[in-house]
Chains A and B, each alone.
Chain A
């Protein structure tokens, strides 16, 4: 069906209508680039969320009346727990030292707290092997076995941070999806219109082809290939632009992400195939579907 001659015809048509090709490819490239960009942002967000999650440990603050022995007993219990990686005890004076350190620039805060009147609680910093166990461990301190001696834990605060990220991610995804759909629709219309114009400019040739007995698919193929070509050219441009873009924002990414960057690139590596695959699918399907639409409408065979 598709032989060299048909392929040659399709490419020649693209070249013959250079400016139409440029316009069509531009819109399709924008579409693909938008889709790809939002996919990359998505990867960036989910890698950040996972990185934050993996670093979260549970800080347990004890009530002021609780003695050091009681806390050490809890610490012992925790060390026996198989989910727990490590436990660090932070005494009242340790907490004060850290606090002073942090507020060294601010004498008003600094002077309100002295060694004799140290309001800071003792705490345990518990690191887990698996972040998923965080919630069940937290219940031990919130109303559970140690509920009576615990003032509060860091769980809620961390939860809020992560939820914030997740919600942000959801909004970005929604915006990405909406923008991608708008661009997709625009591309569909533009390719449709381009093929329509091409059918129109070639109508004499099509008429002659029909009258000398060309099969319907022989007449249709060049237009389908034309649509697919627009898609593929756009895919190549969009991917190249994306790669160059990533290369250039790399230093800024390092600033923003710090040592999170490793995970981002790991994830990006994993998703590269999907990002390009989805673009390939979109570009080819978009090109072919719009030309099929245009043909059923304008190519009467």
Chain B
């Protein structure tokens, strides 16, 4: 489903963020992407959501080369890829419901569809009864679950999680990872970029290690090893 072929990303004059990255991800996989800070994880994620374009190489997602996607097609592509971040990126002046609904509003979905779809997603992530809370009235895990709900509302085939547990305590971390596993079970491919050794080791799933812009290890059932 996703294939990177000889992908380079250079930031002139001298930063080489990614060097000859080759990678193949099948539909339904749960992949952990690990590596020290500055290894190129964030760059890789930016390339996967068409926030940046590769200097060289191809990024094939669903049969299309994302690297050469015309600018006006990018928004439509992004609706098929959900992303969550360490800093959640929720709007503080909107409630849980409104934050999730927002993702549908900005792509101009009708009100009726929004009112039907949002509660369903919120119950999937376990936030029933908290629809009208504001982000600062929630626990860290609940905030991240709201973000996950927002990422899932377009029913993406790929969910990218960029350090989703970076700001969470161990209990909330388990909470979020379990939710990701549940989503993966339902068929969504998940790419989890993380620093958390325990999370990666417990998952017992495929692990890709990135160092200085190159893939140094890619194991079917890997461990966090740097």
Residues of A within 8 A of B (CB): 3, 5, 204-205, 207-216, 218-219, 301
Contacts and interface: CB of A to CB of B under 8 A. Distances in A.
Contacts of B72: 215-216
Question: Chain A's interface: helix, strand, loop or mixed, by majority?
Answer: helix
Interface residues of B, number: 19
Contacts of A212: 78-79, 102-103, 106-107, 150, 154
B76 interface: yes
A5 B101 CA distance: 13
Contacts of A205: 91
A211 B83 contact: yes
22 contacts: A5-B105, A5-B108, A205-B91, A208-B91, A208-B102, A210-B75, A210-B78, A211-B78, A211-B89, A212-B78, A212-B102, A212-B103, A213-B76, A213-B77, A213-B78, A213-B107, A215-B75, A215-B107, A216-B75, A218-B75, A218-B107, A301-B71
Nearest to B89: A208
B107 A214 contact: yes
Interface of B: 49, 71-72, 75-79, 83, 89, 91, 102-103, 105-108, 150, 154
Contacts of A213: 75-79, 103, 106-107, 154
Contacts of B78: 210-213
A205 B79 CA distance: 16
A225 to B, nearest CB: 15
A20 B106 CA distance: 25
Contacts of B89: 204, 207-208, 211
A234 to B, nearest CB: 29
Contact of A3 (B71, B83, B108, B150): B108
B47 to A, nearest CB: 14
Nearest to B73: A215
Given A204-B89, A216-B75, A218-B108, 5 more contacts: A212-B107, A213-B75, A213-B78, A213-B79, A215-B72
